[in-house]
Amino acid sequence: MSEPADPAPVGAEIQIAVHDALARYAFAYDMDQLHLLEACFAENAEVWFSTGQLTGRDAVLAELCRRRSGYRPREETPWHIITNIFVRREQQSGELLATSYFSFGVHRPGQSMAVTKYGRYDDVFVFEQDRWRIARRRIVPLGQ
């Protein structure tokens, strides 16, 4: 993703839509409400996971479901904290670029939550089926 020298600002309605998509993503994954994830990703979404790139909403959702299933046997709750969401419009394509920071931890029964990962989401949003959805996501871990 290339960054424009002077990113075009976006209005409050678009800011809210992007914030909502990111909050929906975190809630759906963390609370094991995975059926809500479909609204977060475009049909032809591309996501670069640590294990490689996946293309297509179905493939992305299958990978997220696979990852989430690993917490169930131990009754653990994953926990995303997404902050510093910076949204701007890519002037040539009209796509939205969103950069946000994340902290990720796991809550184990009877223990305090331990933050295990930090990083950044570099997302490109497109307007599809009446909402802004993630079309491309690059997960950039920090300090790993």
- 34-46 confidence digits (pLDDT tens): 999 999 999 999 9
Listed in order, strand segments (DSSP E) in the chain are: 41-49, 52-55, 77-89, 96-107, 114-128, 131-141
Classify residue 2 by its DSSP letter: P
pLDDT band at 8 (very low <50, low <70, confident <90, very high): confident
Q: Domain locations in the chain?
A: 12-141
- Give the pairing type, strands 77-89 and 96-107: antiparallel
CATH class of segment(s) 12-141? alpha beta
* 141 three-class SS: strand
What pLDDT, on the 0 to 100 scale, is given for residue 4? 46
- 64-93 confidence digits (pLDDT tens): 999 999 999 999 999 999 999 999 998 788
